[in-house]
Every structure is written in C-alpha cells, then in structure tokens.
Structure 1
Amino acid sequence: MRSLLFPIGLALLCAQPLSAAAQAPVPIPATPSADGPLFASSALTLEASIRRAFQSNPGLRAAGRDLDIAAGQRMQAGLVPNPQLSYLSEGIKKDARTTTVQINQAIELGGKRGARITLAERERDVASADLASYRSVLRADVVTAFFDVLTAQERLLLAQASQELSQKVTGAASRRVTAGKISPVEETRARVAEASTKIELSQAGNDLALAKRRLAATWGSLTPIEGMVETPAVPVGAHLTTAELLLHLPAAPQIARARSEVERQAATAEVERSRRFPDLTISLGSKRDEQIGIRQTVVGLAVPFPLFDRNQGNVLSALRRTDKARDELLAVQNKLSVELVQASLRLNGARSELDILRNEILPGAQSAYEAGTKGFELGKFGFLDVLDAQRTLFQAKTQYVRALAESHRAAADIERIVGNVELHGSLTSPQPNNKETQ
C-alpha cells in the first residue's frame, strides 16, 4: 500500500523540464518512493511505538503501582484486631500482692470489617480505572506524537525537494539571463526564492528533531528516535458519526473513573456509619491473691457508651463527599460530551478538507504549475508566473500536510476521550488516485 502521505511527496512535482539558453533539459528531482529506504520495514511503526510506551513509560508504571497498593489495603481491611495480653500487680511484697494476667479481645460490631473490605475493593476499582485512563491518554499521546513526526518528516522531504527545485530553476534562469532571454531581475527573484527554501528546510529539520524527541519521551527516553517512521497501513473506511461516538461515552475511561469514585465515597460513608457502633471488648484471665493463696478466674466485658461521640461529623462529611463525587461525575460527562463533539467535528472538517485538497486543489495547482513551466519554456510566461505557480503548489501541499495532521490529532483526541475504539479508518487519509502518484 502506498504511503498515506505520499500525495504530499513530490510525485506531483514531476513537471516538464525547464529549458536553459540552449534549450537543454533541466532535471527536476523526483520524490522518494513510498517503497524506498525512507519507508523500509526497519522504520519505526505506530504499533511498535505504542507497545514501547506501554512497556517503558514511567508514569504508566507508577499508575500500575496503585493496584499493588490497593491489594495491600484489601488484605489489611480483612484482618481482625489483635488480642491484648495484660499483666497487673497490686502490692509490692511478694506474700501480700495480687497479680492478674488476662487476654483482651476487641469484637467489632456494626459491620466494620465488611465495610472496610468493601471500601478497599472500591479503592482497587479506582486504581484500576486510573490505570485504564492513563493507558488511554498515553496511547493518544503516542498517536499524536507519532503523526507529528510523520508530518514533520514529510514536511522535510517537501522542503528538500523545494530547495532542489529552486536550485534548478535558479540555474536555468541564470543561463537564460546569460543568453539574453530574460531580465536579470528574474534571476534575482529566483535566488530570493531559493534562499526562502533554505529557511524552510532549516525550520523543517528543527521541527522534525523536536517531534522525534517528543515521541521518544512517551516511553521515557531522553534520546530522540533515529531514522524515519513508517506510515500506518490502516484500511480506509467511513468513521463513526458523532451520534455513534456519543454512544461510547458512558464507557469512557474518565467517566468510569468518576463512577468508581462515587462508589468509593459511598463505601467510605458506610465505613463511617459502622463506626457509630461501639466495639465490645472481652477479657479473660486469672487472678492470684498471694495473701490468701487462691487463684480466681477473671471475666470481663467493656463497651463504650456512645453518649456524645457517635461519629456523626465524619458520617456527614462522608455523605457530602459522595454528593460531590456524583456532581463531579455529571460534570465529567458534560465536559467529555462537548469535547467529543468538538473532536468529531474537527475530524469531519479535516477529512472534508483532505477530500477537497486531493480532488480539486492539488490537481489544479499541479496543472497550473505544469502550464506555467511549459509557458516559461516557450517564452509565453514570465519567471514570476512560474514562481507563483510553484508557490501555490507548495502551499497546497503544505495545507494538505496540516489537514492530515489535524485529522490524526482529532482522531487521537477521540480515542483519549472514549478509549481505544475502532474508528473505522478515521486515522487514515483518503488515498491518492493513480494519476496523482504516477
């Protein structure tokens, strides 16, 4: 399959050769093929980037630690209180003292242990939702960073070809000036245009280096990636509509996390309610009176009398936290709904723009460039007309790159919101027709 970004390559720049003074053909650099070394199988793929980020991203590992922490809290919540061993001596003289040894065991009442276990399980659910949300965001970040590299990569190729073409045109203009065919002003304009392409090439190189560093940062590397990235071969298809995407919203990772938080706060309220019931302490021991030389069994019960402190303040606070979590759930749902609609509209707009550029603007700009070049060869057009046609063509190609990048970012934002859903080719731009790639 040809590269998705191949139409923004320089195949469309294969124009008629410019004539020198002796009408010698001036070759125009061809676009590297999508099957060439720039897109070899050794290039970094999107799947490999996502896999590497999932394996090495330090933030993802930190989020995974929360599951281990929650497992420890669940284990601790199921444990019963430890018994207490006490020793009491009354008197100092050995033959006149009384010693008591007893074991005290607290018995939890009011369902405290069950409430703690439920709370620990809800905290584990929150940790799991946090991990899923982080994975979704990380995947979207990798997709965005990957296509930023891909866009910068194609922009660099375009800038390189633009510079080479400007050099060829400048040479052709210089020879025509020498032959007296055109004014020296035209050569000056050609050299100014060539200098502009050098600036564009430098900026494109810097942007590519920065994009590579951002992509490497998604898996925690401080060293930018080397080589090129490979265009994903995703089948083209109609992506989900906005209404269909909204149906996936209830299962969105952030909403699932907010829902788990509501359940966790509700479980916390149950724990606080259970603490209203005092615990019963049972004591069993032995008491020996050295003065009369007898040993007695000691049995005791102790229970606090909840006259003033019934944990009513903590219960009220927990209930209000539960209400707050429900309000935050509604706020997250509303926020994500708006963001999802916006991302879907951005995706629709980008795909429409790509269709127009591919079917109308790019062919028209290519045709105008070819006509201007041929007219310049025949002396019918001035060099300024050729430069304008060239500028229009490259602007159209740059616009195509921007629209393609916007479609990728919009699709990544959709995945960040609703998770890794099948968008049915929304990450793929329309493929160029055969005429454009010949």
Structure 2
Amino acid sequence: MPFRARVTLESIPVQGYKVKFMSKSSKALTAAALAVAWLTAGPVLAQSAPPAPALSGLSLQQALALAQERNPDLRLSAIAVRNAEAAVLSASAAPNPTLSIQSSSINPRTGVGSGGLRDKNIDTTVRLDQLIERGGKRELRTENARRLVEASRLDVNDTRRQLTLATSEAYYDLLAAQERLAVTQETTQLFDSTLEAAQRRRKAGDIAGADVERLQVDVLRARNDARLAQADLARAQLALAQLLNVCCDTAGIRATDPWPGFEASDNVADIDRLIEQRPDVRAAQARLEAAQAARQLALASRTRDVSVGVQFEHAPGDNANNTYGLAVQIPLFVRYNFEGEIRSAEANLDTAREVLDKTRIVARNDASRALQDLQAAADRARRFEQELLVAAKKSADAAEFGFRNGASAVMDVLDARRTYRATQLDAVTARADYARALSAWRTAVMKEEGK
C-alpha cells in the first residue's frame, strides 16, 4: 500500500531549523529520518571540500607555493620519509625475550593424580631466554637506517628542486604564450586598420585592387596566427595546472610577474663546491654511508650472538624437587660463515660509490650546461631588447606613416609589418629562453634546505 510522509520545518531543531515528521507508517519515519540526515550532512560535506585557489592573477612565488603544497610527487616523497623513519624504530629495537612454559612426564595410564595443581604428577618448567647481540649489530643497523632516513629527506629536497624548475619553466611558458597572443592580436588589429585604409584608397583610385588582395591575405594569416597563439596559451595553462594539481577552469589562469632582469653570471663560484651541496648529491653520499654501515653489519654477523636462559622446574612431590637452571647457547659456524651476506654488502657498497660518482658527474654537467645556456640566452635577449626591437619598431612606424599618407607602396608596409611581428615574437622567445635558463641555473646549484 502506498504511504505518504510530510516533513515540515518545526518541532525538531536541525542546524537552525525545526523539523516535524508526520507519517502513517514506519517506512515514512525511515524516509523522514533520511531526510534529516541529508539536511544535516549536506553543509558539513560542503564545508569539508577545499576551496579552489584563485589563479586569475598568479605570481611565480604563488605558483611555487601551490606546487609544493599540492603536487602529488612531493607528497609521495614525504611518505617515503615516514617509511624510512619507521625502519629506524625497527632497527634500533633490542631483541625481545622469549618465555616458554613446558609440562612433561604426563603418564596416560595413571593420569595426573589428585590434589592441587602443585601435587599433580606433572613436571612443569618455566624458562626465559634472551638473545644478546654482539659485535655492535644493533648500532650498525640503526646507523644504516638513519642514513637511509637522511637520504629520503634529501630526496624530498631534490624532488622540490626539480618541481621548482618544472613549475618555473611552465610559468614562463605561460607568460610567453600570453605575450605571443597579445602580439598576434595587436598585429591583427593593425592589419585590419591597414586593410580599411587600403580599401578607402582603392575607392579613391590611389591603389590597385591586387595590392588590396595581397593585404587581405596577410590579414587572414594574422588571424590564423592569433588563433594558433590562443591554442598555445590553452596548452600552457593546462601544463601549469597539472603541476599545481588544481582542477579548476584553466582558461582563467594568468601569469602576472614580469620577465626576470638580467643577472651577472660571469664570475660564479666554483661549480664543484656548489654541486656538493645539491640534495641529489648529498642523498647519494648518505646512501654510500648507509652501504658502508650495511657492510660493517654483514661483517659483524661473524661475531657470535649468545642466548642466555634461566629456568625454574617444578616436579611433583616434596618442595625440595623445585630446581633452577641456567643455559647458554652459542652458534657454531661449521658449515657457513655468512660469505654470501658479506659479498652482497660489498657489491651494494660498490654500487653506491658508482651512483655517487655518476650523480656528481650529472650534477656538474647540468650546472655547466645551465651556466652556458644562461650566458647565451642573456646575450640574445639583451640584443633583442636593446637593438632589434628598436630598429624593427622604427622601420614599421615609418612604413605605416608613409602608407597612410600615400608615400609608400603596400608591399613596403607589409614587409615592414612582417619583420616587426617576427621580431616581436622572437623577442618573446628570447625572454622566455633567458627566464628558463635562469631558473635552470638556480636549481642546478640549489642547496639543501637549511644549508
């Protein structure tokens, strides 16, 4: 039979409201209870959702802060540190003692006898054994685990270093895409105004129709370039949003910082000294020290551990039958002397040395290449800023003025316009190359945090 339930906002307070349930069946009460749960939980769930960050005016520092806060790779590196710290607790713990209780001399024919528990015909033994590690095994295990924790923390810093470089490059790619779009849109507007002027001159008989058609072709090309620049901007916004791990309207992301200024890079400090402070090099060094501790631990395996035990034995009968005992267990290395563990530890130590050498070479080449790229990009960007843009702008302005006043042909203004637009786009590329090279140089010699 169908039922009806009515929920009115009175009688029961729910987040500032009063709710009264009027029903004619238990099912209606259940439905009403679900309605209350929905009303109660809805705002709570809405409040728990993290707000999307505002990215309409994004500076580089804000982008770096968001990347370090939200990037999943950095979070995974932090989880690895916690895992390594847990390994330290396990390595530094002493062996637990072993308690054993044994009953023996139970005769199935005669049974266990009568009387209390102490009078039963059962021999009962209580024994406590403790393993005593020798050769500094626990200290070496702890040292190995601590070095691995240090390496994991340095891995977090290296992940942060690489994330800083990737975010900076993505940010400057976005800034360059914004400027390319602005240049192409401005060029399109100039071509449109030039086309209008050419059409007026054609009506007056001052210009041939073929020249107007040529100008029309350049107008269409400029519009295609603007559309392509718009697509490049969308790709740059998506790339930066992926690094920031944000799920918002990426079309609203906009970089607001200016291009970085030119920095002197001729007299730099010793690169070999700088790379020794990089987190990836320090992490490789920490893993080498951990491998050294592991090798010492493998050698310490040849030092015999001793197990010491004490026991109490109760036999039925007189109390004088209670006895005590001591036991010592010493392993005998008659068949195997841990050669495999020692060889494996030595191989791991050699591997750690090779990894450290390789990491140093990669870091040195990375820093040297970043410095050379920075110097070349600075020279190119400075030449565009101080010479090429100025000359191309003067040529374009002169051609525009002459065309509007009937002193120059269409081809002259088109050539000047193409040259100026190409120079502007090349200048944007040069600025972006310098900004990326500067970021690469800074991250190539980035120190460990706190150093």
TM-score by length of 2: 0.80
The aligned counterpart of 1:16 is none
Contact 1:141 1:412 in 2 (8 A): no
Instruction: Say if 1:289 and 1:118 are closer, same or farther in 2 by CA, change over 3 A.
Output: same
Query: Equivalent of 2:344, from 293, 311, 317?
Result: 317
The Cα offsets for residues 99-120 of structure 1, whole Å up to 9 and x where unpaired, read as 2111111111111111111011
The aligned counterpart of 1:54 is 68
Query: Equivalent of 2:165, from 140, 156, 181?
Result: 140
- Of 160-169 and 376-385, deviating more is 376-385
Alignment partners' CA distance in 2, 1:43 and 1:184: 46
Query: Equivalent of 1:91, from 93, 100, 105?
Result: 105
Gaps of 5+ in 1: 1-40, 422-438
The aligned counterpart of 2:358 is 331
Contact 2:140 2:293 in 1 (8 A): yes
Q: Which protein shows a greater Rg?
A: 2
The Cα offsets for residues 270-322 of structure 1, whole Å up to 9 and x where unpaired, read as 22222222321111111123277611102111111112222121111111211
1:241 CA displacement: 4.2
Query: Equivalent of 2:127, from 102, 109, 112?
Result: 102
The aligned counterpart of 1:33 is none
The aligned counterpart of 1:268 is 294
1:245 CA displacement: 4.5
The aligned counterpart of 1:220 is 245
Amino acid in structure 2 at the alignment position of 1:325 = A
Query: Equivalent of 2:442, from 401, 408, 415?
Result: 415
1:232 CA displacement: 4.3
1:214 CA displacement: 1.2
- The aligned length equals 381
Gaps of 5+ in 2: 1-54, 113-119
Is 1:44 matched up with 2:58? Answer: yes
Q: Secondary structure at the match of 1:185?
A: helix
The aligned counterpart of 2:235 is 210
The Cα offsets for residues 134-190 of structure 1, whole Å up to 9 and x where unpaired, read as 111111111111111101011111111011111111111111111111111111111
Alignment of 1:45-194 (within 5 A): 45-93=59-107, 94=112, 96-194=121-219
1:225 CA displacement: 6.1
The aligned counterpart of 1:254 is 280
1:416 CA displacement: 3.1
Alignment of 1:378-397 (within 5 A): 378-397=405-424
The aligned counterpart of 1:432 is none
Alignment partners' CA distance in 2, 1:279 and 1:225: 67
Q: Secondary structure at the match of 1:43?
A: coil
Contact 1:97 1:291 in 2 (8 A): no
Amino acid in structure 2 at the alignment position of 1:70 = A
Q: Secondary structure at the match of 1:101?
A: strand
The Cα offsets for residues 317-337 of structure 1, whole Å up to 9 and x where unpaired, read as 111211121112111211221
Alignment partners' CA distance in 2, 1:161 and 1:239: 35
Contact 2:259 2:431 in 1 (8 A): no
Alignment partners' CA distance in 1, 2:149 and 2:393: 59
1:90 CA displacement: 2.4
The aligned counterpart of 2:333 is 306
Amino acid in structure 1 at the alignment position of 2:313 = K
Sequence identity percentage:
26
Highest RCO, 1 vs 2 (Cα 8 Å, sep ≥ 6): 1
Contact 2:271 2:364 in 1 (8 A): no
Alignment partners' CA distance in 2, 1:138 and 1:319: 34
Q: Secondary structure at the match of 2:334?
A: coil
Instruction: Say if 1:244 and 1:161 are closer, same or farther in 2 by CA, change over 3 A.
Output: farther
The Cα offsets for residues 10-65 of structure 1, whole Å up to 9 and x where unpaired, read as xxxxxxxxxxxxxxxxxxxxxxxxxxxxxxx9721111111111111111111111
1:349 CA displacement: 0.9
Contact 1:246 1:340 in 2 (8 A): no
Alignment partners' CA distance in 2, 1:51 and 1:196: 40
The Cα offsets for residues 405-425 of structure 1, whole Å up to 9 and x where unpaired, read as 11122122223322169xxxx
Amino acid in structure 2 at the alignment position of 1:91 = S
1:384 CA displacement: 0.9
TM-score by length of 1: 0.82
Instruction: Say if 1:381 and 1:55 are closer, same or farther in 2 by CA, change over 3 A.
Output: same
The aligned counterpart of 1:353 is 380
